[in-house]
Structures are given as C-alpha cells and as structure tokens.
Amino acid sequence: MDKLNCNVFLTVVETGSFKRAADMLGYTQAGISYIINALEDELGLKLFYREHGGVRLTSDGEILLPLIRQIDLGERNLMDKVNDIKGLSAGKVRISTFNGVYIHLLPGIIRTFREKYPAIDIEIISCEDNQKNEQLIFRRDVDCGFLPEKPSSEIEFFDLLEDPYMAAVSEEHPLADSTAFPVNRFYEDSYIMIAFDKSDFYDRVFPDGKRPRPAFVADNEQAALAMVSEGLGVGIFSHLLAGNASYPVRFIPLNPAITRTVGIGVRSMKTCTNATRMFIQHAGDWMSGKEMGK
C-alpha cells in the first residue's frame, strides 16, 4: 500500500484540522487533503468527517487508528535500525510537554541535544492537561513526554527534578516579605485559580478537603500572574514557572512545603526508538548538570 502516510494521518488526528496539520508538517492544506483522500480511496473507507472548523475520525477511522500507530512506530524503528547500520545517528522524536518545561528547560535540552545529534528531528506538542499528556504517551501518539507528576498509568517514568510549589502574591500583599506562606491563608484571600489544575493537585495542597473559593479562573499561568500582580488575588505556582515570571509578583514557599516530581515518561524503553532513548538519556544528563534557580 504505497498511499499510506502514517505521519500525515496521525497528525490530522492529533490536530483535528487539515490546515493545522499542514502548518505542522510543512505541506499545503490542499496537499494534506490530497493525501487523506488518496488514502481513503486506497482503502475504500471514509476515515474522516469534514466539518466546519475541522475534521474528526469516523468509526472506521477509530478502528484503524491503533493499527496505523503501530505501523508508524514500526516504520520509525526500521529507519532507526537502518541508520544504525549506516552509522548515522538519525531519526525523529515526538515530544509532549507542558509550559513550565517548554519555557524553562526544553530549549536548553534541545539545543545541546542537536549539538550532539544534528540529524535527529524534534517535534514538540504542547499539552497542559496532565491526563491527556499521559494518554499521548501511553497510546504512542508521542515518543516520550515531560510530566509534572509521576503517572498513574503504565508508563516508564524517569525523575528529572523536585519542583516545590510557591504562593504568588502582589508586591503590596501583607505577606509579600514573608519567608513562608501558610496554606490556610488561601482560605482568607481571594484566590486565582488556573483552569487546567486538577482535583489531585488540590488534594495534595489542601489535604483537609477544604478548597479556597476562586475569585477568578484564568485559562493559563501568565493570565493568572497578571491578575495576582494587580492585587486581585493570590495563586499557587511551581518554582519552575516562578523562575522567570513576566509580572511583578512575589513568590513565597508554602508552609507546609509541597513539591512535585517533574520527569519524562515513555511507554516502554524496550520498544521505543533509538532516537527516543538517546533523547531521554540526554535530558537526564542535562538536568543532572543543571542547577535550578540560577
């Protein structure tokens, strides 16, 4: 079957759009449409519903999706082995990540990785939903992914750093110059919630079962920090994110202290590509020489 383009198919599934897939892969939108139409003609099946604003898999497409993922992984493993035989450290690694790592760690990891392995391509997918990120790794939609916590699913996980949570307050807040911020204080102040924070996060920070009442819900960390800086409330952020805040806020360690374990996950080190193994090893080596907070 010479018209099966796994990468295009999976990218369309991931993005839900011919246009976004074209932008990501360097095709024209018409080129993506032609490839998918040719695949559907070859199989004699309709794989996508074309809808206003995007596309979604048909039931036939859903059935074929895990098989195409396996073919894609097999093709990349084959090319990895071919490149090994040729003595070329070539390949491709698809990575998922969340903002804290994307902004503060990943650029340095990728820069130094490319210095060692210039022929290996890196593709990055940003995902703030931790459960969805785990699913991307588990289903092999990505080769590996950075996670803010140890995963609950069957994913191999490698610790990279311990990342403490901090209270964020405005410079005029009464506790702005304090060395510790009592967790119970969140019940008194207006609280700025971030939309993608999950219940397990609040279970860890507030083990008594109580929750601060949010005055506002921001859809991303930078929006929340902007509101905190204007004195509209207080928030909770990781030290990783606090390292280079865009707004004038004070970050104060929580009392009691609460940390998360940031790491990198992969479905299986035994079955992942050589390029993926090299990237995971490099990320660990880079972090072992990285001093946080400097």
> Given this model, what pLDDT does residue 87 score?
61
- To the nearest 10°, report the CA torsion of 62, 66, 71, 77: 150
Structure tokens at 43: 């199989």
> Given this model, what pLDDT does residue 286 score?
95
Terminus-to-terminus CA distance in the chain, angstroms?
A: 53
Domains of the chain: 1-88 (1.10.10.10), 92-294 (3.40.190.290)
In Å, how far are 39, 146, 209, 294 from 125, measured between CA atoms?
25, 10, 34, 27
Contact 137, 265 (CB under 8 A): yes
> Given this model, what pLDDT does residue 294 score?
39
Placement of tokens 């991931």 in the chain: 14
pLDDT mean for each 10 residues of the chain (294 residues): 75 92 89 92 92 91 92 84 68 90 93 92 89 90 92 90 94 95 94 81 83 89 92 93 80 94 94 90 90 42
> Given this model, what pLDDT does residue 1 score?
47
In Å, how far are 82, 123, 185, 275 from 116, measured between CA atoms?
19, 17, 48, 12
Residue 123 CA neighbour count, 13 Å, CB half: 15
Placement of tokens 């909770």 in the chain: 236
Structure tokens at 99: 């903002």
Task: Give the angle 221-175-220 at the CA atoms, nearest 5°.
Answer: 5
Placement of tokens 């003595």 in the chain: 87
For residue 256, whether the previous peptide bond is cis, meaning omega lies within 30 degrees of 0, is: yes
Contact 145, 137 (CB under 8 A): yes
Classify residue 212 by its DSSP letter: P
> Given this model, what pLDDT does residue 86 score?
66
Placement of tokens 């590996």 in the chain: 144
